[in-house]
Amino acid sequence: MQQRVVVLGSTGSIGQSTLDVIGRHPERYRVHALAALRQIDLLEAQIDRFNPEVVVVVDAAAATELKARLVNRGCAVDVQTGADALVKLAQRPEVHTVMAAIVGAAGLPSALAAAEAGKRVLLANKEALVMAGPVFMDAVRRSGAVLLPIDSEHNAIFQSLPANYQVNPEVHGISHIVLTASGGPFRGYKREQLANVTPEQAVSHPKWSMGPKISVDSASLMNKGLEVIEAHFLFGLPAEQIKVVVHPQSTIHSLVQYVDGSVLAELGEPDMRTPIAHALAWPERIQSGVSLLDLVACGQFDFAAPDLEAFPCLSLAYEALQRGGSAPAVLNAANEVAVAAFLDQKIAFLEIPEVIRQTLSQIPATPLTDLDSVLRVDARARSYAQSLVESRQ
C-alpha cells in the first residue's frame, strides 16, 4: 500500500530532495499534496511530475497566478492559499506522512498540527522544537504521532541510539551526544576577520546546499545552537550532556558516547537525501540516490572545538536552553530578525549575536502552555529585535 505524503516546503532544498527520493519509489509513496510560499515555476514542474491532489501556495497573488496557469492547461489540481490551508493540509485524514520542511517560525503551526493529528512527522523544521519544544513534544505524546528527525545531525543520533530508546539517557547508559558542525564558510576565522564579511560570503556553504537563512545560521554557528536545543527535546538530555565539535569533512554526522566507553556514529556523504530516505522508510531501508561512502577516498577526519569568542551565537543558544521556558523562542525570533537584517545589509555579521543577546536580556522567560503562548512571545521578541535593528541604522 502506498504512503500518502504531504511535502510542506516542497520548493526548498529539503522539499526538492524529498521529492527526489519519493520519485525513486513510486510503488511505495504517493504525493498527496505540495505546499510552498511563492516559487510557482518550480511548483508547477513538481505538479507535472507528481500529480498531487492538493497544492497550497501561501502567497495569495502567487496562488492566483498558479491557478490561472493550471486552468489554461486543463490541469485539475485543487489550489488553496493562506497559512490556515497549511494547517488543514497537515491534518487531512487520508495523509499518512508529513514532511515538515518550511523554514523558520512560519513552519511551526503546520508541523504542530501534523503532530496533534498523530501523523508520521518528518521534522526538518528545527524551529518547531526550538520555539515550542514542550508544547510540541506533549502533542506527540498525546496523539501517538511518530516523530522522525531529518536534520542530518539528529537523524544520526536517532540511528546511533538503541532501537527501544525511551527519551531516558540514564536507563540506556548514555554519557552524552556529540553534534558535529562543518564550521561553515568562516571556519578558522577570528572575531576581527568577521567584521566585514558579506551576505554573499555567508551563504556560500562549503558542504551543504541550503537556503540563505540556514546558510547564515551555519556561518554564525547559530544553526548548531538551534540543533542543541532541538536535541534536548528530541532525546531528553540536559544541555551539559550535549556537546558540539567542528568536523569540516561533514562525513561523521553526529555521535553518541556511552558510559562503557563505546562511541556510535553515523557516517555518510553530505547529502540530505540519506536522512530523508531513512525517515521515509523507517524502520526499513531504501535507496536514496546517494553514493556509498568511500572511506579510503575520505582520507582523514579532523575535529576541533568551536571558537565561542568568534561565534558567540552557540553560547547564546546554550544560555537560552538553560533558562528554559520561552527563552529558546525569544532566541529564535531575535535570530530570524537579525539574519534577515544582515541579508538586507542593514546590520553587520557581528551585530547578529548582539541583537540576540540584548533581546534575551530584555524579555523574561515564561512558561509555554500552547501555540498561542508561543506566538505571543515570538511576536514580542521580534518587535523588540526589530527596534534594535532600526536603532543601528
- Strands 78-81 vs 29-36: parallel, antiparallel or unpaired: unpaired
Query: Is 299 in the same domain as 331?
Result: no
Query: Cell numbers 551543504 correspond to what residue?
Result: 208
Q: Which of 311, 346, 366 is the last residue of a domain?
A: 311
**In the chain, what is the straight-line distance between the N-terminal and C-terminal CA atoms, in Å?**
57
Tell me if 40 sits within 8 A of 69, measured CB to CB: yes
Letter for the amino acid at 263?
V
In the predicted model, what is the mean pLDDT of residues 7-12?
Answer: 97
- pLDDT tens-digit series, residues 124-133: 998 899 999 9
Q: Does the structure show a pLDDT above 70 at 209?
A: no
* Percent of the chain clearing pLDDT 90 (strictly above): 91
Q: Are residues 301 and 368 in the same domain?
A: no
pLDDT at residue 195 greater than cutoff 80: yes
Helix (H) or strand (E) holding 6: strand 3-8
Going by C-alpha positions, the residue among 319, 355, 327 that lies closest to residue 340 is 355
Q: Count structural domains, the chain.
A: 3
User: Is 56 a member of any domain?
Assistant: yes
Last residue of a domain, one of 270, 289, 311: 311
Q: Do 157 and 102 lie in a common domain?
A: no
Is 194 within the bounds of a domain? no
104 & 249 share domain: no
Is-above-0.95 flag for pTM?
no
pLDDT computed for residue 82 by the predictor: 93
Residue ending a domain, choose from 311, 334, 355:
311
Counting beta carbons within 10 angstroms of the beta carbon of residue 336, is it exposed (0 to 12), middle (13 to 18) or buried (19 or more)? buried
Average pLDDT over residues 188-212: 87
Confidence of residue 314 (pLDDT cuts 50, 70, 90): very high
| Residue ranges making up the domain that contains 184 | 151-188+202-311
pLDDT tens string 92-110:
999 999 999 998 889 999 9
Specify whether 33 is located in the same domain as 172.
no
- Residue for cell digits 512558561? 367
**Same domain assignment for residues 160 and 279:** yes
Same domain flag for 301 and 164: yes
Predicted local distance difference test score (pLDDT) of residue 248? 93
